[in-house]
Amino acid sequence: MCGIIGYLGPRTAMPILLEGLKAQEYRGYDSAGIAVLEQGQICLTRSKGKIADLEKKIGATLSAATMGIGHTRWATHGKPDDNNAHPQIDCGGGLAVVHNGVIENYQELRDDLSRRGHTFTSQTDTEVLPHLIEEFRGQGCDLLQAVTKMTETVEGYYAMAVLSAQDDNRLICARLDNPLIIGLGEGEYFLACDMSALVEHTHRMIILKNDDIADITLEGIKIYNHGQLVEREISVIDWDKASAQKGGYEHFMLKEIHEQPHALKRTLQGRISADGTRIIFKEFDQAIDEKLAAIKNIHLVACGTAYHAGLIGRHAMEKILRLPTVAEVASEFQTRDVIIDETSLAVIISQSGETYDTILAMRKCQEAGAFTLAICNVLDSTLAREADAVLYTHAGPEIAVASTKAYTTQLAVLYMLTLHMARLRGRLDQAEAAALIADLARTPELAQTVISELEAQIFRLALDFGPWQDAFFIGRGLDASVAMEGALKLKEISYIHAEAYAAGELKHGTIALIVPDVPVLALCTQSKIIPKMISNIQELHARKAHIIGVTYQDCTDVIRACKETLLIPRINELLAPILANLPLQLLAYYAAVVKETDVDQPRNLAKSVTVG
C-alpha cells in the first residue's frame, strides 16, 4: 500500500524520485507528491491522480536539488486530493514527511497539537508526524531526537521518511510493521518501501527492521533501535526491475497470498479493545449502533469471491445473532422481489467498491429503506461514498485478478461485525466474546503457519494436476461455502473445470461425474458433521476418486479416510474458513503455474467488474 522514495547524493534528485514512484505504481495509488530541498527551502509539489498529473504540475524546468522524498498515496484517512497527498508538512514548511501505514491515535494527537497552536490543512493521519517533530524541535531536540520522540508518541504502524530544511544533506527514516529499504550507491543513498524503486540504481540494500530509525548523511548511515546504535546486514539483491515489483515472487498472486498474515493484522489492528472482550469500530457512532441493535433481518449482497465471503458471514450471523440472514448474488438480487424494508440491514461487499451489479443492488436496498453497510477495500469508492456506513478491510492494493487477501480480510471484517452486533444485542456473554476475539486475533499468526508449512507440499501436489481436466470440492455447513471459493480459484486461473457441492448432495446426481483418479478436495473443519463427511469420502473412495482432505492436524479420523491431507492448526470452528481457504489458494496458484497459464491476468477476466 502506497509507495515511498527518497534520494540523497550528488545527482539531480527529481528524475530519480519520479522514476522511483513510477516503479511502484502497481501498488495502487490515487495521488502523488514530491518534496526536494533546494537552497535551504523545501519545494513541495502534490497532485491528485497519477504521476503524469504530478509531472504536469512540476513542468519542464526541473529542480537542481540533490536530495528529496516522494510518495504515492493510497487513501486511508481523508479523500484523494492535493491537500491529502504526501509529503505532509509542518506549520512553517520546514519539515516534510512521507508515510505508509496508519497512526491510530492521530485524532488525540491532532487535538493536542491544535491546542498548542499547530494548524492542520489535511484530513490525513500522517500530518500529525511533521507537527510532532516541529513541536519536539521547539523543545530543543535536534532532528534525530525529535523523530525518535515522535515514534515513541504515535501508536500504529508506519514506514516514513523525513526531510528538514534545517538539515542539509540529511534524511531520517523509521520503520514499524511496514517495509522500508535503504539502497547503497557510490556516494549516494536511496530509500524506498519496495525494491522495484531501487534495483535500477543499486543491488546493495539494507532492509530495516521493526523500530529501526536510520540517520542518512553523505558521510554514511547510522541505524538506531530503541536508542541503541545497531548494525544491519547489507543484502545483495539479484533481481531485475520487473521481478522486484513483485517482491521477488514470480507472480503478484503468490505475493498477495503471502501478504495475508500482515493484511489480517492491518484489518484487526485498532479494532479489538485493550481487554480483548469487544470489537471497536471507530467508524460507527451511537446512531449507527442503535440502528444495528434494532435490525430484524440481514442481507449480504456481493458478486464472485465477495459473495463467497458473504456466505461465511451468513453462517456466523445466523449462529450468533439468531437473525434471519441471507447471502445474495448482486446480479440476481436486482431482478427479484426481495423482502427488504427499513428493518433490514444490507451488508454490501466489494473489494473495489466499484462493482456495477453490487452498486445497483445497494441502491435497490436504499430505495426500500434498508440500512446499507459497505465492506470494501478502496477508500472513497462509489460504494463507500453512497452507503450509509462503511467498514474498510485495509487489505492494501490487490493486483492479481484472482482475489486472495481481499477475501480473507472480508471474512475478518464480517466476523468482527457479527461480534460487534452480538454485544449490542446481548447475544454473547463477555467470556464467549473474549474467546472468539482471542482466536480471531491469532489468525495472522496461524495464517503464516499454514502458508509456511503447506506450500512445499501443495506444490508437489499440484504437479499431479497437469493432466487433470476436472476437480470437485465438497463440504458441509461452513465448509461447503469454503469449497465454493476453492473451486472458483482453481477454475479462474488454471482453467481446470472445478465444481463445488454440498457433500450431502453427492447422491443427488453429482456422484455420476466421479471417475477413477478425479481429484476431490474434501473440507472437514466442522466437528459435528465430520462423521457424515467421512461417510461421503468413503462413497467417493469406492469409486476410486483421489481424495485430498483439508482438516485439523489432530483430526485422525479424516486423515485416515483421505489419500492425503492438508492440515491446518486448531481454531474456533466458526473462524476455520480463514485458515482452510489458504491451502486452496496455494493449490489453485501452483496448478496454474504447472499448466503455464497467465496467473495474474487470466483470460477473459478483469480485476473490477464495472459494467453489468
pLDDT of residue 495: 94
What does the mean pLDDT of the chain come to?
A: 92
Going by pLDDT thresholds of 50, 70 and 90, the confidence category of residue 153 is very high
C-alpha distances out from residue 378 to 73, 383, 385, Å: 12, 9, 10
- The pLDDT tens digits for 307-319 are 999 999 999 999 9
433-442, 464-473, 573-582: least confidently modelled range? 464-473
pLDDT of residue 428: 92
Residue 141 is a catalytic residue: no
pLDDT of residue 335: 87
Position 514 pLDDT exceeds 50: yes
Going by pLDDT thresholds of 50, 70 and 90, the confidence category of residue 78 is confident
Q: State the cell numbers at 126.
A: 500522517
Position 29 pLDDT exceeds 90: no
pLDDT of residue 611: 40
Instruction: Give residue 120's Cα distance to chain centre.
Output: 28
Give mean pLDDT, residues 265-287. Answer: 95
Give mean pLDDT, residues 266-295. Answer: 95
Distance in angstroms (rounded) separating the CA atoms of residues 196 and 434? 42
pLDDT of residue 358: 92
- The pLDDT tens digits for 379-405 are 767 898 899 999 999 998 788 889 999
The residues pairing with 522 across neighbouring beta strands, listed in sequence order, are 474, 549
Position 607 pLDDT exceeds 60: no
- The pLDDT tens digits for 112-126 are 999 999 999 999 999
15 or 196, higher pLDDT:
15
Question: For residue 464, what is the enclosing H or E element?
Answer: none
pLDDT of residue 594: 93
Position 241 pLDDT exceeds 90: no
- The pLDDT tens digits for 178-200 are 889 999 999 999 999 877 789 88
Top-ranked range on mean pLDDT: pick from 14-18, 351-355, 380-384? 14-18
C-alpha distances out from residue 480 to 500, 596, 612, Å: 7, 29, 28
Going by C-alpha positions, the residue among 454, 362, 377 that lies closest to residue 412 is 377
Write down all domains in the chain, each with its CATH number in brackets: 3-248 (3.60.20.10), 254-447 (3.40.50.10490), 452-595 (3.40.50.10490)
Distance in angstroms (rounded) separating the CA atoms of residues 187 and 202? 12
Among 50, 79, 291, 607, the active-site one is 607
Residue 562 is a catalytic residue: no
pLDDT of residue 610: 38
